Each structure stands twice: as C-alpha cells, then as structure tokens.
Amino acid sequence: MSLPKVRLFLLGGTITMDKAPGATSGVVPSVDAAALCRAVPGLDQVADLQARTDHMVASANLTYQHAFDLAAEITQADQKGEADGFVIVQGTDTLEEMAYLLDCLLDIKRPVVVTGAMRSPAQLSADGSANIMAAVICATTQAVGAAGVSVVMNDDIHAARFVTKAHTGNVAAFQSPAAGPIGRVTEGTAHIFTLPVPTAKIPVPEISSLPEIALVTASFGDTGVMLGLLEKSSCAGLVIEALGAGHLPEKYLDILDRLTQKMPVILSSRVGNGHIFQNSYGYQGAEIDLIRRGLIPAGILDGPKSKILLTLLVMAGRNLAEIREIFNRWNF
C-alpha cells in the first residue's frame, strides 16, 4: 500500500538554527529541509515526503509575497492532485500570521499544516523533530483539511483563526484563547475534536505593490500622537488595538473622525481574547461611540490578524461597505 504524498516547504526559523563553526554564542539558520527530515525517526513510514528548502530566514523577514507564492503553488498542486497534504515549516515569531494569511487565501480540502520549533537543535529537548512528525501526520489526515489551515505545535492542533504565540520560550507557547485546540495528535494519530465555521476566502492577488496598513496599540495616558502622524501618511488603512472590549481615550476622537474619512479603520482589542463589544458602553470613546464614528469592529480577530485581513481586502479592491460586512460576518 502506497503512503500518502506530502509536500513540505521549509522557510527557516529556530527549527533550522544551530551554532556556526567557531561561534561562541547564538544560533543561525544552517539545517536544511533534508537534514531536518532525516532527524525524525520513522518519518519515512508515515508519508512519501517531498521536502524542499525554500528559504533559510528568521520569520521576521517573511513577507506577504512569500505567502502569495506558497498559496499559488499549493493551489496548483491541489488542483493537479500532486499531493495529499502540505506542511509549512517556519519560525514561530510570525507563524500565526502566516497560518492565518494562508487560511484566507487557500480554498482547498486537503490539509495544510504550519509548524516550527520553540527550541533550536542546539538546545536540550529540542522540539523540532516531534513537531515535524505531528505536522506530517496531520497532513496525511484528510479530516484535518476540513478545519482550513491549521497550526500543529506540541501535539496540539489549532485553527489558524484562533491560534497565537502566548509565551516567548515555552514549548507549549501556542494557544487558542478564544476556542482552545481543535484536536490533538496522540500515539501517531491525529484526532479532531471540533471544526470552526469556515472563513471568507480571498483569491491570491496579483499586485505590483502592497498597501500600507498601520497597526497602533492604545496605552495608558496615550494622546494619539501616532494617529496624528498617520494623517499625513500614505496608509490605505488602520487597525487600532483598543483597550478592553473596544475603548479609546477621548483625545483620539478628533483625529479618528478625520481618519475614517480617508481610510477604513478597524477596531480590535489589545487583550487578545474575546469579542469587541458593540452595544454595552455609551460614553465618548467607548465602542458604541466609536462604531458610530465609522470604526469597524474586528469581532474576535486580534490586531495582527485584523491587519492581514484588511490588507487582503484593500488589495482585492473591496469598498468600505464590503469590508465592514466581511469583518462583521466572518469573524465570530
């Protein structure tokens, strides 16, 4: 019986990093896809794996174009039936953004799994090999594909929409505060507990330039100086991570009134868990007032994911009403 075919794309990250010869401190990208896969005992018994090193970079250097290229190649391979599942391996600093971006772009049924490592191969109890094994197992499990793009770390299976990196160094850093994991890999088998409601899909765009979307976080005693700078910028949109359930200082309001006339402004929360409220607080700067002024509530999406969705919608040429409808309808 033939094994499932899985394509693995390596982009870089901690999972690839080891000490350079002669170095006294710090690790750097140096372990390619073939070497990573050879270090996973029994991987060749799980899948017919085609592993490729696309990049060897820290994930802070990944871009939208990397995601667009990946999405286009995965879509083509899916349409031709060239693989049964796909794994993307990258650094964890932007792993949740890549996973959510691919989830917005890809409209396929086959599993697409993103993974990485919290510990480099140079550290004790490095988690990279276990994460690759779990990710490949999930990529061979068709039920995982029904969840959209997933993130598999520390044997937990997370939906891209909910997952976030919640710790700087713990191997259990990836959590889904709003919903919890959707499944788990146990004894070599992927078990799915629940499936999220499907998200809106946006075709891979053809672009000559990327729109600038600003992300600003509100803080104690803030006077809105960053918003003032945006008035004179070329930004095509703004995401504000507000206080609490969607609240901002009154000093923001005059500038926001002007900004909403120039660009879509999305109201998310810096809390990272829970909905933006819409009908609870009535004072100036609270969510009722801000929505009346034209801000668009982000639902459960945090700031970084709201920025990704807004970027794709601006690139797709969606108007303000369409942007509001997608944020209201699809992010619950």
Within this chain, do residues 184 and 219 fall inside the same structural domain, yes or no? no
Determine the structural domain holding residue 319 and report its residue range: 213-330
What distance in Å separates the CA atoms of residue 260 and residue 44, rounded to the nearest whole number?
A: 54
Instruction: Return the pLDDT at 329.
Output: 80
Task: Give the domain-ending residue among 192, 227, 251.
Answer: 192
> CA separation (Å) from 73 to 86, 94, 95, 228?
11, 20, 19, 41
The greatest distance separating any two alpha carbons of the chain, rounded to the nearest whole angstrom, comes to: 67
Q: Which residues contact 169 (CB under 8 A, 6 or more apart)?
A: 118
> CA separation (Å) from 101 to 196, 218, 232, 308?
16, 24, 28, 6
Q: Does 160 map to a domain?
A: yes
Looking at the chain, which runs of residues are DSSP E strands? 5-12, 17-18, 28-29, 48-57, 85-89, 112-115, 150-153, 156-159, 164-165, 174-175, 183-186, 189-192, 213-217, 237-242, 265-269, 296-297
Condensed to tens digits (0 to 9), the pLDDT of residues 57-92 reads: 999 999 999 999 999 999 999 999 999 999 999 999
pTM: 0.95
Instruction: Return the pLDDT at 25.
Output: 77
pLDDT surpasses 70 at 35: yes
pLDDT surpasses 90 at 208: no
Both ends of the chain: CA-CA distance in Å?
42
Within this chain, do residues 10 and 132 fall inside the same structural domain, yes or no? yes
Within this chain, do residues 277 and 141 fall inside the same structural domain, yes or no? no
Condensed to tens digits (0 to 9), the pLDDT of residues 259-314 reads: 999 999 999 999 999 999 999 999 999 999 999 999 999 999 999 999 999 999 99
pLDDT surpasses 60 at 332: no
Half-sphere exposure of 186 (CA within 13 A, CB side): 5
Instruction: Return the pLDDT at 198.
Output: 84
Average pLDDT, the chain: 95
- State which amino acid sits at residue 104: C
CATH number for the domain spanning 271: value is 3.40.50.40
Mean pLDDT, rounded, for 234-243: 97
Within this chain, do residues 135 and 47 fall inside the same structural domain, yes or no? yes
Per-residue tokens: 5: 């075919």
Instruction: Return the pLDDT at 331.
Output: 57
Q: Does 169 map to a domain?
A: yes
> Catalytic pick from 14, 92, 140, 199?
14
Task: Give the domain-ending residue among 127, 160, 192.
Answer: 192
When divided into structural domains, the chain yields a total of 2
User: Is 53 an annotated catalytic residue?
Assistant: no
Task: Give the domain-ending residue among 192, 223, 244.
Answer: 192
Q: Does 18 map to a domain?
A: yes
